[in-house]
Chains A and B, each alone.
Chain A
Amino acid sequence: MKVLYFAWLRERIGVGSEDIVTSAATVADLVAELTAREDRYAAAFADMSAVRIAVNQVMTDSTASLADAHEVAFFPPMTGG
């Protein structure tokens, strides 16, 4: 599965995009798995209230299923304009 990170999440994790092999059932499971894997993920996901999520480029939340997911993106609230 392709996982994307933007803004300070990208900086904390150190990459903007990576392929992750996981059997996580939901986004929350994926976050827990990555957090347990390395400190840089734990630092990025420490406060999930500050993190927005998109699965297959559609905005969702951490309860979302990954059953049909080919891409998951994590990013802070948007600040364009």
Chain B
Amino acid sequence: MSVSVQSDDFDIGTEIARLTQDRSDIGAVVTFTGLVRDMGSGQPVSAMELEHWPGVTETALQGIEAEAHTRWPLQGTRIVHRYGPLLPGDRIVLVAAASPHRGAAFQAAEFMMDYLKTRAPFWKKEETPDGARWVDARDADDAAEARWAQP
């Protein structure tokens, strides 16, 4: 388990290599990479600024990883999230899950992303032709998180 909150870019190949280094028992690694799109709410986006809550963000991401490990048989997880100024096409976030079999890895990666969206203290501000605007939270993200609720 490991999380990084950083302004620098990340390399997906390097992250997968670190996750699987010196191991031969991992059968599946699923990664998700989120990118900055050039459109938001029907408007062109020329740049983005990501604000976060230093310290609390890392704790929140570690909690999400730990929760994933309680739900699936995972051999490793990794979350990298960037902050600061970003441009369309830039990588924002990486989640990776390693497991003996693909089912758990797919599910854990999706779970971590869904939880991260609504539980990690990040806020996006987009630069549009009408000026800068803070991105509104989406109901779809709450619905995605709710899918994982346990009785």
Contact = CB atoms under 8 A, between A and B. Distances in A.
Interface of A: 4, 6-8, 10, 54, 57, 73, 75-81
B123 A79 contact: yes
Contacts, number: 61
Contacts of B136: 77, 79
19 contacts: A4-B53, A7-B51, A8-B134, A57-B59, A73-B53, A75-B53, A75-B123, A77-B137, A78-B119, A78-B120, A78-B137, A79-B122, A79-B136, A80-B52, A80-B120, A80-B121, A81-B81, A81-B113, A81-B120
B116 interface: yes
Contact of B124 (A4, A10, A54, A80): A80
B50 interface: yes
Chain B, interface size category, equals: 20 to 34
B92 A6 contact: no
Contacts of B146: none
B69 interface: no
B134 A80 contact: no
B117 A81 contact: yes
A79 B81 contact: no
A6 B137 contact: no
A80 to B, nearest CB: 3
Contacts of B122: 78-81
B93 A80 contact: yes
Interface string B113-139: 100111111111100000000111100
A57 B56 contact: yes
